[in-house]
Structure 1
């Protein structure tokens, strides 16, 4: 993936030819996809800093009435991005104990100042959920994205989502960004992702190294990977159905499970 010189991508040419601002184009895309793309993510796609996911690619092709190979040639080139060149150097630590995994996830939430992106529908670890709520309550400028893959699997997660909506109004914006986004990916074929990422670090849980039950291992990743995962989560949320009210949370059917260890 190569970064494109200013004004040189098909995405930007199609937008500017219509006289649209980034905000205007993002709003039109969201009308098509039902997502929550914003101007900064549109800019990252146009410059080639980030690749556009399949749902938003289809939406942009429809919006601009243009072929994918024209709009996304700058994203699909053979040159590797900085993150791709870094490779396994982004991994700072391997976690092989459940207690260490939870501690590392809590630390991501505790230290987040700008972004806190969490994915998955299996969370039930109380200290981890409490750390997220504390960050949302105590850091006004923090932007929090929660991406669910299907309904919450545990009642603890449902209660957590309700508390988040008590702490923040999803309509509130700071520094041009909504400060809370909860979205649910409902496509049956979508693979559930598990990670927590801030602007400076990330933790990615792995299937258990000790047995077949749940997730009790993981890796800690540095800033390059963390920033990439923040964008991953934002794009996933942009393609998800937004959950904006307590009523919408409660409408998701919580499927309580009594066995196994939850993901993030």
Structure 2
């Protein structure tokens, strides 16, 4: 699947500086990501490195710094093929057309998030540690149970804020073993972003649509509104979540999930999803 919104290497067929730097050290992609993960503590794989090298996907700042260290080359050299501004990306050209609908009621917000989950067939990325809406969490579990080829990423920002989310993570691990592969691909990834003071992100994204919750339009409490985004924005958020999960600490056993503290009461009470 092609992810939009990122400049792609031009038609000349020239290799990127990022790929040339790896080849100069006589490293395979598998060897390079092994050394990269030793620096970052993440879980980048060879397919993601290949996408970075070709320019199909944009490398995050943490991995840029680590690759600069690994290859002993400046970031602006290694990633020039990703940062070129000669041609506007599809997302830039689309502009506000990526906004499908503003969601101004909590019921609309939950309905849209459930629909994004239910329609996912390739990737489903969910971020945040505050989820507790039962219908939403149940929809995720149903998708994981009924779509065996669906690759699901759950990115936590700090420990769960509610017992319901902890129980949801346990149910995901009961449905799938993160260590198993389907057609050579791991289909369940759960990670916690550290340090704990990292800015929390809230969104759900599939390969075709995404929902980002927003602060309430109706008062100072809660996050009961949001925005429904189309494909061009959704694929960018999927990439965001995949990179965040790759650099997060894996939490992929029942013991690891049950060991997470639950930070009760650390969030607004109205409209949490």
Normalising by the smaller structure, the TM-score range is over 0.9
CA distance in 2, matches of 1:254, 1:92: 35
Query: Which stretch shifts more, 8-17 or 141-150?
Result: 8-17
Out of 180, 203, 213, the residue aligned to residue 205 of structure 1 is 213
Shift of 1:261: 3.1
What is the CA distance between 1:259 and its match in structure 2?
5.0
Match in the other structure for 1:3: 8
Structure 1 equivalent of residue 28 of structure 2 = 21
- 1:237 is matched with 245
In structure 1, the gaps of 5 or more residues are none
- CA-based RMSD: 1.7
Q: Work out the number of aligned pairs and report it.
A: 264
For 1:75-94, what aligned pairs fall within 5 Å after superposition?
A: 75-79=82-86, 80-94=88-102
How many Å apart are 1:225 and its aligned residue? 1.0
Per-residue CA distance 1:182-233 (angstroms, 9 max, x = gap): 0111224421111101111111111111112121111111111111111100
Partners of 1:185 and 1:241 within 8 A in 2: yes
Separation of aligned partners in 1, 2:37 and 2:185: 15
> Contact between 2:106 and 2:271, CA under 8 Å: does it hold in 1?
no
Are 2:204 and 2:211, in contact at CA under 8 Å, matched by a contact in 1?
Answer: yes
Question: Quick check: 1:261 aligned with 2:266?
Answer: no
Secondary structure of the corresponding residue to residue 116 of structure 1: strand
Is the 8 Å Cα contact of residues 109 and 116 (structure 1) preserved in structure 2?
A: yes
Other-structure match for 1:227: 235
The residue correspondences of 1:187-202 to structure 2 (distance < 5 A) are 187-202=195-210
1-structure distance, mates of 2:171, 2:104: 31
- Report the equivalent of 1:31: 38
**Is the Cα–Cα contact under 8 Å of residues 125 and 206 in structure 2 kept in the other structure?**
yes
Structure 2 counterparts to residues 54-73 of structure 1, below 5 A: 54-73=61-80
1:154-173 aligned within 5 A: 154-173=162-181
Q: Which runs of 5+ in 2 are unaligned?
A: 1-5
